[in-house]
Amino acid sequence: MWFHRSVTMPVPHAEAVVDLQAITANARRLKKAAGAAELMAVVKADGYGHGAAPAARAALAGGATVVGVATLPEAIAIRAAGIDAPLVAWLWAPGEDVRSAIAVGTQVTVSSRQQLRAVIDAADSAPFVPPADGAPELKPGCVAIHVKVDTGMARNGVMPEDLPALLADISAAQHDGTVRMVGLMSHLACADVPSDPSVEVQIRAFRTAIDATEAAGLRPRWRHLANTAATLAVPAAHFDMVRCGIGLYGLSPLADRYDLLPAMTMRTHVALTKRVESGQGVGYGLTYHTDTPTLLALVPVGYGDGIPRGSGNRGEVFLAGRRRRIVGRVSMDQIVVDCGDGAVHAGDEVLLFGSGTRGEPTADDWAGYCDTINYEVVTRISPRVTRRYVGGPEF
């Protein structure tokens, strides 16, 4: 006798559900704020934890025209995913494999004469790039570069006093046909506080760098300074292009959310419940003790999944219709939630964070629990948390 057994899909250990339509809508919102400036979609750090390639496609569908990453391997991965939009990478050290990044058409950022020499040495690997949307044709062996100038943040970027010598070298290399300067960029230190005096100081310093570039006979297509915060709140910083990262994912660096739509929801399920008596210690170090008889729920995620260890005895999750507090220390693989006399069972859904529309905590709430920023909350979600895409071509 044959018996039929129904087949159900296994429940993932934990998953981050990414709404690609939200990313597309956020790109449209940011493009509108940018006015005449183009929008670069920044998908570094695996799209701030959302998935670099899916996020890039969704942002391009929303009006972005350029994709940006930090590192050379990130650029190579974007090309391997089949994305052929203009692509910029801006953070690399001497000795890294710049040749492979150039070979896939990456526009490489230089911040020193040493970096420029490395680009020139690898220029023979540069492919033909046809003209598009006003961008110049690039023949084989000619690398499109951006120059990053330090306008006062003291991180990456050439110092203003060293800029003329770098521009002179670029001008000579451009005459030889090994490079073409297509971008000039910098970064604001305090754009999340638009009234901070440093914002205007940096804008003026960037304008001075533009003047120096033009004096050297160079006319880059893109001059870009603004991040998400400046795109939304500092129009004077827009120039030819804005670079938006966190805003694409629906999170604001400012107090105002600007109608951005959070794209990620992190969820899992209760693994086990147990009734305990008053005075029961919980977790490593027994940093929490129950003050009444209560129901504890074991949730199978921890700092190995990206849950901040500092959220122990502070963070909340949404479980069985309400927010409930994490108690005890966060372990590598698990947390414990005090459910009081609630009706909670193994298998119940647990929302770690999301848009907040169902009452669940948001990434901003988690940033508050852990004295950090919403960028870190989403970016730190580890690869062992499954990404599931909805609302777009990946679905």
Q: Please list the active-site residues.
A: 44, 284
CA proximity to 182, closest of 127, 142, 122, 125: 142
Contacts of residue 117, defined as CB under 8 A and 6 or more positions apart, other chains included, come to none
Q: How far is CA 312 from CA 1, 50, 288, 342, 365, in A?
A: 54, 24, 9, 20, 14
According to DSSP, residue 249 is labeled G
The answer to whether 35 touches 240, Cβ cutoff 8 Å, is: no
CB atoms within 10 A of CB 162: 15
Q: How far apart are CA 129 and CA 280, in angstroms?
A: 66
- E-only strand ranges, the chain: 15-19, 38-42, 66-69, 87-89, 107-110, 143-148, 179-185, 222-224, 241-244, 264-269, 272-276, 281-282, 288-289, 294-299, 316-319, 322-327, 335-338, 349-353, 386-390
Torsion angle of the four alpha carbons 380, 367, 329, 296, in this order, in degrees rounded to the nearest 10: -110
Contacts of residue 165, defined as CB under 8 A and 6 or more positions apart, other chains included, come to 113
Beta bridge pairs of residue 43: none
The two three-digit tokens of residue 140, written as one number: 């084989």
Q: What burial letters (b/e) apply to 174-187, b meaning 16+ CB within 10 Å?
A: beeebbbbbbbbbb
Taking each helix axis as running N to C, give the angle between helix 72-80 and helix 52-61, from 0 to 180 degrees, rounded to the nearest 10.
70
| CA dihedral (202, 208, 214, 218) positive or negative | negative
Roughly how many angstroms between the first and final C-alpha of the chain, as a whole number?
Answer: 39
